[in-house]
Structure 1
Amino acid sequence: MPSILIDTIPIAQHKVGVRVYLRQLLEAIPAGDRGNIRLLCVQSNAHLYRDLENYQISVVPWSVSNRVTRAIVQQLAVPFATQRFGADVVFEPVDHAAILTPAPVVTSIHSGPINLHSDQFQGVREWYNRIMLPLSIQRSRCLIAISEFVARRMVDLYGVASEQIDVVHHGGGLVERAQRNGWSPPGIEDRDGDILFVSSLHPHKNADSLIRAYTRLRDQVQDAPALAVVGKDVNGRAIQLRKLTRDLGVADHVRFEGRVSDDRLLHLLKTSRLMVYPSSLEGFGLPAVEAMKAGIPLVASNRASVPEIVGDGGITVDPNDYEALASAMAEALTSPERQKELAEAGRKRGEAFSWEQTARQTLQVLERAAA
């Protein structure tokens, strides 16, 4: 097995998605393969990895407090560490590579190209991505895309040869880890909880579309469960969404929980009767996978990577068609037979995603790049 350097410098405590991705990936790598892997950290993120066994860890003696500093440290420290430790290949886990690295590079591309070309970045972040994304892609010997959708975007936007890209899906997130520890969700017939939305409140996550559809659902299903909105607020959007619930007369039936603990999220995934995931811009869509693995009937968007990930494990509809979204929710709530069918289809589809598979495929790409 080659000597592998994994650059963790871009991973910060507050960057939840990529932090979970790398942590779960590292936990899933077999202990016997870890001896040749070195994690390059900074003082401000080394605590995220010190408890992992059998990895070599090197800490750059700087603490990184903002995006600009993080980028500068990455570009300086990774080439130096690659040379010092004689790494055969460097793994860049999230979108951006250290350009001057004197070894083959494998970069995992998440949602950077999608967000950049959908005007999701602003200011310095937009400028940095416009420069660094194409340079990182050009510098990489091999590229990992987290979905077929992301792979197609790289081909279309940057002219990447498709044979340079390996599609490696994420695993099952919190639910998969809990199931390894004995957690087992009940059958759909034993659930008495809410309709669940899990995502940050960025506009493209379409929580407002869901609230409008939920208003229509209550006209169709008088005893419809409450709606639980779970996820980080973004630019005060929760205030706007609360106002929308008041304007539409459903404020008493919509609960905003903000960001929740893992235990609280597992409870919601164990009790909820339906998950709705209406996002229109995703590189992967982990909440959809967690819902399917938990056996929750799923109604999801038919945009971006979401239908690829959901497959036949749920109902996919236009997230901006409130009537279609409401009808799909009603379909998933009112028929016991349809509920069981969706729950079983979701569980089966969810089996396609595991961190062990993600780790195995990622190591294969790294070994090929080093060779």
Structure 2
Amino acid sequence: MEHSPYRIGIDAQAIGTNFSGNEVYIKNVIKNLDRGSRFDYHLFVNKNFNYAGDFTGTDWKLLEFKTRSPFIRLPFEFPGLIRREKLDLLHVQYTAPYFADCPIVSTIHDISFEHYPEFFTKKEASLLKVGIRKTAKEAAKIITVSEYSKQDMIDTYGVPAEKIVVTYNSIDEAFRAVPDPARLAAIRGKYGIEGDYVLAVGNLQPRKNIPRLLEAYKRIRLENPDIRAKLVVVGRKAWMFDGIFQTLTDFPYLKDVILTDYVPQEDLPLLYSAAEVFVYPSIFEGFGLPVLESMACGTPVVTSNTSCLPEIAGGAAVLVNPLDEDEIAAGIVKLLRDPKARQDYMARGLARSQDFSWEATGRATSEVYASVLEERRARRASKPKAQAAAH
């Protein structure tokens, strides 16, 4: 017997926040979900601080939060909206509302706060620990973005392996090599970049390891007088970024370090394509999207040998210890100086970037919804039989 479409709620608040990975993830998952007759989607947005223009004027139902405060939204406003909309399932990123009248699917990208609480404010680290542990325990299913993150949650939280589904991130089709010299010259001009440059992309926060990258860059310049490449760091100020600016105090090559702040998404493929080398020395990641973005643009990559990054790089990047400034420097110099290694990593990176697909991620996410809902339906159908047997 046909039943009406399941009502799926999706927390889409990250869209429009310019908050890198979380925004890219949910926007692309939503665009690639199963649009057949079995699901009716409701997107939760917050006009106080985000933009959902991609989904206005579509058949998606947009539901607006009135508050920015998670202390009001999670215990009060969100549960009320779930009841009002009679949702069959809710998909969130990280922390679920405190009460929900429907099963929860949560995408937990990583649990870096469990291993590096010092990278967060004390308040934020404690909120994440409490909220995400509770969500991981109570969610019907957890989606994560790498096998590393899955194993980390199994080991740290004791979550059963069958409860966690890995759906890899992917890259937008816009991330392709740009061969047009005029466009590359224009992007250099826009951000005041003269000559060759090494590129880093990531919000300014402790996990991205920018102070060590700056020290590595200083060593490269001191030990290799012929290397004049600039260092361009793309990313908005996120939190606890004072260390970056402290490192830049009395920095001998300050005029060759360019901090762009946030840049529009359409500028990123150009910035990747024009760079000599891309470096991503992050201390801990759940996925590490910029690694793939750079590979897809034909720029060779230096990244960390920790957390999920070797898994995502798949042998197509120079791997370095992110805690060792000499190793970071040596990885960058290798790709700047060795044309053969450079060409090899460019080719490997292009091939690796083709292994990921948002379409596959959207499809897999829809199947997670379906499996949770079918399990719930089967349990409900078996209850009357069990009660009848008891009588």
**Both proteins in one fold, TM over 0.5:** yes
Pairing 1:149–2:142 present = no
Deviation at 1:30, TM superposition (A): 5.2
Where structure 2 has 5 or more consecutive residues not aligned to the other structure, the ranges are 186-194, 375-391
Instruction: Report the equivalent of 1:122.
Output: 121
| 2:29 alignment partner, one of 22, 25, 42 | 25
- What count of residue pairs does the alignment treat as equivalent? 355
The separation in 2 between residues aligned to 1:266 and 1:50, in whole angstroms, is 20
**Which of the two has higher C-alpha Rg?**
2
Whether contact under 8 Å (1:146, 1:283) holds in the other structure is: yes
Paired letter, 1:44:
N
Q: What is the TM-score of this pair, normalised by structure 1?
A: 0.86
Q: Offset of 1:369 from its aligned partner?
A: 1.0
| Shift of residue 232, structure 1, vs aligned partner | 1.7
1:149 partner letter? Y
Secondary structure of the residue aligned to 2:174 is helix
Residue 186 (str. 1) matches residue 179 (str. 2): yes
Task: Describe the shift of the 1:336–1:52 C-alpha distance in structure 2 as closer, same or farther (beyond 3 A).
Answer: farther
Amino acid at match of 2:125: E
Matched with 2:90 is 90
Please say if residues 199 and 275 of structure 2, whose CA atoms lie closer than 8 Å, have aligned partners that are also in contact.
Answer: yes
Deviation of residue 59 (structure 1)? 2.0
Aligned to 1:304: 307
Deviation at 1:47, TM superposition (A): 4.2
Q: How far, CA to CA, are the matches of 2:368 and 2:209 in structure 1? A: 35
Between the aligned partners of 2:266 and 2:170, the Cα distance in structure 1 is 19
Structure 1 unaligned blocks of 5 or more: none
Q: Does 1:239 align with 2:245?
A: yes
CA contact (8 A) 1:2 1:88 kept: no
Letter in 2 for 1:132: G
Q: Does 1:38 align with 2:31?
A: no
Distance in 2 between the 1:334 and 1:33 partners? 56
What residue number does 1:196 align with? 199
Match of 1:291 in 2: 294
* Per-residue Cα deviation, 1:185-212 (whole angstroms, up to 9, x for no partner): 2399x99641001112212211121122
Q: Distance in 2 between matches of 1:131 and 1:319?
A: 29
Change (3 A) 1:262 1:185: same
Mapped partners of 1:110, 1:318: distance in 2: 22
Q: Percent same amino acid among aligned pairs?
A: 24
CA displacement, residues 335-371 of structure 1 (integer Å, 9 cap, x when unaligned)? 2221111111111111122211211111111111111
- In structure 2, what is the equivalent of residue 102 of structure 1? 101
Letter in 1 for 2:91: F
SS of the residue 2:63 aligns to: strand
Counterpart selection for 1:359 from 357, 362, 384: 362
In 1, the alpha carbon distance for the partners of 2:340 and 2:70 equals 50
Q: Which of 130-139 and 266-275 deviates more?
A: 130-139
Q: 1:34, 1:54 within 8 Å by CA — same for their partners in 2?
A: no
Instruction: Name the SS of the counterpart of 1:227 in structure 2.
Output: strand
Q: Does the CA contact (< 8 Å) of 1:7 and 1:78 recur in 2?
A: no
Hey, what does 1:324 align to over in structure 2?
327
Is the counterpart of residue 48 in structure 1 residue 52 in structure 2? yes
Cα contact 2:177–2:298 (8 A) shared by 1: no
**Cα shift at 1:290:** 0.8
* Residue identity opposite 1:90 in structure 2: L
Partner in structure 2 of residue 338 of structure 1: 341
